[in-house]
Amino acid sequence: MAIGIAPQQTLKAPINCRGVGLHSGARISMTLLPAEPDTGILFRRTDGAFDGMEIKADWRNAVESALCTTLTDGEGFSVATIEHLMAAFAGAGIDNAVVELDGPEVPIMDGSASPFLFLIECAGIEQQDVARRAIKILKTVTVSEAGKSASLLPDAGFSMSFEIDFASSAINHQDISLTIDPESFKSDLSRARTFGFLQDLERMRAAGLARGGSLANAVVVNGDKVLNEEGLRYEDEFVRHKALDAVGDLYLAGGPIIGHFRGCRSGHALNRRLMEALFADPSAWCETTMLSDAGEEYDLWQAPAHLATA
C-alpha cells in the first residue's frame, strides 16, 4: 500500500457477548468476527430457519422505522436495532466485520454504544492491506418533513450538529456541534443512552415493542423527571444520543462520511431518506481514499468519476 494511505481495519479476534433485545425481549448471543477487506459490515443470523442467512449493513437494505434501524431482505429475514453497534464500528474505524446473532436484533446492552466499543477494544483492531474508502459530500443534500430535517453538507472531515426540542422540562431544547474522530466519539457520544417516556411504554408494548426495555438500558422520563437513580451521564445526554444514532445510520453509506451532518429533530426514518437522496444525485458525492497522515482534517485523494458508483 502507498505510504500515507489509511488502511481498512477489522477485528484482531472474535469476541462474544449476551444481552436482551430491546424490542423482542429475547436473550440474544452476539459474536463479532474479523472479516476480509471490502466485506463491509455483514450481519449473519444463526437461529432456526434463518441459520446462515446474511445481510449487508447498507442503506438500501434498511427499512424506514421511527424506533430503530432494521435491515431486511423484504422476504421475512431481518436484523433490527443495529444503530448503536454500527455507531461503535464507525467510531472505532472498523470497516470489515461479521456480526453473528442467534436472535432477531442486536442486544441493547446498556442502551449506548459504549459496551460495543469496549468489545471492539478487547478484540483489538487489525489493519488490512487495502485502502480505506470514504464518501465525500460535494454539495448540500436535505430532506425534511413536519418540522424535522436532515442534511449533509461539504466539510473537510466528519462533523455533526444536532438539535432537539421536547415539551418535557427534563429535556427542553438541546443542541450539540462537534467534530467526530475516534477520541471524540468515545468521550463525547459513546456513553449516551437511548431514551423514552414512561407514558409511551404501554402503547409500545401493546404493539410488540420495547419488551426488553428497562431502566438498565434506557433513560426513562416521566413528566419532567428522569427516573434513573444514577441520573444522566451527560447534562445533554438526550441530544448526544440522537447524534450517536445518526453516526450509526450514516455508516450504512458503506464507509465513513466526509462532510457535515445537520439534524433537526430527525430520526432513523429521515436519516434513511437522506441516504437515499444523497445517492440518487451522483453530483452530490464521490468516493475518496483516506490518507493516514491527515492531521486535524482528512487529506483526501478524490477518485476519478468513473470509480464513483451510485
String of DSSP letters for 189-236: ITTPPPEEEHHHHHHHHHTT--TT--TTTSEEEETTEE--TT--SSTT
> Strand order of the sheet with strand 78-79?
62-63, 70-72, 78-79
CA angle 52, 55, 274 (to 5 degrees): 165
What letters, b where the CB count within 10 A reaches 16 and e where it falls short, cover 65-92? eebbbbbeeeeebbbbbbbbbbbbbbbb
Cα–Cα distance list, 149 to 144, 146, 173, 175, 221 (Å): 4, 8, 16, 14, 24
Catalytic option among 23, 241, 260, 268: 268
Catalytic residue flag (residue 260): no
Beta-sheet pairing, 41-45 with 125-131: unpaired
111: CB partners within 8 A, 6+ apart = 22, 84, 193, 194, 195, 217, 218, 219
The catalytic residues are 268
